[in-house]
Copies of this chain bind each other. A is one copy, B any other.
Amino acid sequence: MKRKDFGCGPGCPVEVTLDLIDGKWKGVILFHLQDGTCRFGELKRKMPRITQRMLTKQLRALEEDGLVIRKVYPEVPPRVEYTLSEMGERLRPVIDVLKAWGEDHRARQVADAA
């Protein structure tokens, strides 16, 4: 929740949504959580290039914004699970269309380079 006021003009809702999912790795994290609950280490393995630091940071931010639920089990070694909240679940069509567009875009770039 970074950017505050847009004067709530007609395009405002676009930025409201972007404001929640904007941030490196957030989109990918949400994408992976769509497949179901994940533990920290699972997520990390799904995204080989992400640092522990960034994964923690973005997960906490997503939790803070209400998109993700973080469940801590009183276990050792630590066991923490991350799940899409109801609000996060409602982002499914958003993530899907972003993914589709990105794939299409990439395919076109490859075709243009040839």
Interface residues of A (CB under 8 A from B): 3, 5-7, 9-18, 20-22, 24-32, 46-49, 87, 90-91, 93-95, 97-106, 108
Contact (A27, B49) CB under 8 Å given A17-B99, A90-B104: no
Q: Kindly list chain B residues whose C-beta atoms are within 8 Å of the C-beta of A29.
A: 11
Q: Choose among B6, B16, B46, B87 the residue that contacts A9 (Cβ–Cβ < 8 A).
A: B46
Q: Choose among B5, B6, B11, B31 the residue that contacts A14 (Cβ–Cβ < 8 A).
A: B31
Q: Choose among B16, B17, B105 the residue that contacts A16 (Cβ–Cβ < 8 A).
A: B105
* A87 pairs with B102, CB closer than 8 A: no
* A93 pairs with B97, CB closer than 8 A: yes
- Sorted nearest first, the 3 A-B pairs with minimum C-beta distance are A13-B102, A11-B28, A11-B31
Separation of A33 and B74 alpha carbons in the complex (Å): 52
